Amino acid sequence: MIWIVVSLLITACVYLYVQNYLIEVSEYEITVPKLAAAIKGKRIVHLTDLHLRSKTNKSYVETVISKTKAQQPDMILLTGDLVQAGMKDLNDTLLKHFAELCSQIAPTYAVTGNHDIGSGKQDQFKEILTKAGVRLLDNEAEVLRGTDGKESLVLMGLSESRNRTNLPKPALKHIELSADMERLPKILLAHRPEYFEEYMDDRTKAPALVLSGHTHAGQVRVPYFGGLFAPGQGLLPQYDYGVFVYKTDRLRKMVVSRGLGNSTFPVRVNNRPEIVSITLK
């Protein structure tokens, strides 16, 4: 009898290790309407919800970086919650190390998540990223050029607040775009996916692609039902993870990543951490 109990415990430990530390790479090909030929085929690596803290194992961060580098990305996009809320000193985390390594691989862009803001040290957080070479899009937009040197794509970043109850209307109101930017296809980095429809309110700024995190894919995934719970969406969230299509324009999509870490609830079940790799078409 004792051997059965021991075997079950070992099996449970192995399962939980796999579910929480064995990173999976999910690859997508996303068609972006009106995308210039000079930027088609570019590869994005999307990382989110790492939730770094003082006790985070450095080897896990190194694994994230190694798998990211193996994708040979043209850019790395970070959609928030890189650190855990409540950190006393962000220098105690691996944030600087992680951000520097990302920047060495490819141009890296980021937005904040609720935990980054909830750390109470958002100024320090932003300074660490900026000094590491990460471009923080704080309600800002940046134009990317293709291999021909022409303006081809706009990256927009939506700033996060600790409690997203004050989303402006339209949602992208504070992101200023020039007339030239409005004519280009756009990718939006926004931590919270539950506002997918609101991100499309302003047709002059509506993105062709939204990248989000926040949900941890529902933390616990139940077969046939999907994610169990996500903040901002509650039980059985509509936008847990994967690719979602905007209801009135099927050419506009959102990719939600399962993320890489845990926050308050420390365990993932049937829900391995994820790196998302996207090839633009």
User: What pLDDT, in 10s, does the model give residues 29-87?
Assistant: 999 999 999 999 999 999 999 999 888 999 999 999 999 999 999 999 999 999 998 87
In terms of pLDDT, which residue wins out, 118 or 35? 35
pLDDT of 156 higher than 90: yes
> In this model, does residue 166 exceed pLDDT 90?
no
pLDDT tens-digit map of 258-277: 999 998 878 899 999 999 99
Do 115 and 51 touch, CB atoms closer than 8 A? yes
Residues linked to residue 249 through DSSP beta bridges, in sequence order = 246
Instruction: Give the residues across from 242 on adjacent strands.
Output: 256
Residue 163 binned pLDDT confidence (cut-offs 50, 70, 90): low
Sign of CA dihedral 90, 92, 98, 101: positive
Predicted TM-score (pTM) of this structure? 0.94
What pLDDT does residue 196 have? Answer: 97
pLDDT digits (tens, 9 = 90+) for 175-234: 999 999 999 999 999 999 999 999 999 989 999 999 999 999 999 999 989 999 999 999
User: In the prediction, which pLDDT does 8 show?
Assistant: 54
Which pLDDT score is estimated for 121?
Answer: 84
Q: Is the pLDDT of residue 145 over 70?
A: yes
pLDDT band at 120 (very low <50, low <70, confident <90, very high): confident
Q: What percent of the chain has pLDDT over 90?
A: 76
Confidence check: pLDDT of 11 > 60: no
DSSP code per residue over the chain: -HHHHHHHHHHHHHHHHHHHHS-EEEEEEE--TT--TTTTT-EEEEE----B-TT--HHHHHHHHHHHHHT--SEEEE-S--B-TT-S-GGGSSHHHHHHHHHHHS-EEE---HHHHHTS-HHHHHHHHHHTT-EE-SSEEEEEE-TTSSEEEEEEE----SS-----SSTTTTS---HHHHHS-EEEE-S-GGGTTGGGSSTTT--SEEEE-SSGGGSBEETTTEESEETTTEES-SS-SEEEEETTEEEEEEEE---S--SSS---BS---EEEEEEE-
Answer with the residue of higher pLDDT: 25 or 18: 25
pLDDT at 164: 59
| Structural domain 2-280, CATH architecture | 4-Layer Sandwich (3.60)
Please give the pLDDT value at position 161.
72
